[in-house]
Structure 1
């Protein structure tokens, strides 16, 4: 049997409200929120005593979703270093196609986004950049040209 679809990407954050606001500013739509706890959650994740709040957001076209999670117990650990570089092993980044990269960056900066390098041009096809968002995650933005 083959994979049916990629359902969502999960990101653990320390401030759920701020992360939801950040991704809403990017243009994602909040589907809903839930409190997660109980034996089924412990068994699924492999941790004991889980108590977390989650928010599910989707892209405007409905093709992609992010699940943001704030763990109350057990407390989330912090990676070392706190803001790992983009070439760290593991989840690399999440990329979003945007219609105006400059406008998107300006709006996200009001939510704490920091550009990692600069906005660069790839041939005559794209303008691209990496930025650091909530909980230190790395996002990439891509604006198609022409």
Structure 2
């Protein structure tokens, strides 16, 4: 990995389904695939580590808590045409948490991977 690469880990229920989603729906490429335990994929400078329940990252903590997918933390992917991207994602069967929202910096929508992890699709406002 070069110094410009940012790595983020997502806990997932099914590594194979997650690899399929990130590669075929969101345009990532596979770096390593050790399914069913683990895989990592890349899009630009983002390396996304997909850790299943049998991965070392899925082991219970000393207090018994078990890492799992979901939540509100998310990766943020910038697009040029959010409406077109939403249409493409819907046609691919992607699940959304909301409709497109507009704010001071641009427009965003939240799509979920097969395990319920959130990916924000964002179109910046042109100044």
With normalisation by structure 1, the TM-score equals 0.61
Deviations 1:56-110 (A, max 9, x none): 1111xx311101122337877586xx965x4xxxxx2221112332333334335
Q: How many angstroms apart in 2 are the aligned matches of 1:111 and 1:17?
A: 17
Shift of 1:6: 6.3
Out of 97, 100, 112, which is 1:132 matched to? Answer: 112
Paired residues, what number?
116
Q: Structure 2 regions of 5+ residues with no counterpart? A: 60-65
With normalisation by structure 2, the TM-score equals 0.69
CA RMSD of aligned residues (A): 3.0
Contact (CA 8 Å) 1:121, 1:128: kept in 2 or not?
yes
Contact (CA 8 Å) 1:26, 1:104: kept in 2 or not?
no
Contact (CA 8 Å) 2:37, 2:55: kept in 1 or not?
no
Out of 54, 57, 70, which is 2:38 matched to? Answer: 54
Does residue 123 of structure 2 align to residue 143 of structure 1? yes
Residue 62 of structure 2 corresponds to none
Residue 85 of structure 2 corresponds to 104
Q: How many angstroms apart in 2 are the aligned matches of 1:31 and 1:112?
A: 24
Residue 66 of structure 1 corresponds to 48
Residue 28 of structure 1 corresponds to 28
Q: How many angstroms apart in 2 are the aligned matches of 1:73 and 1:57?
A: 16
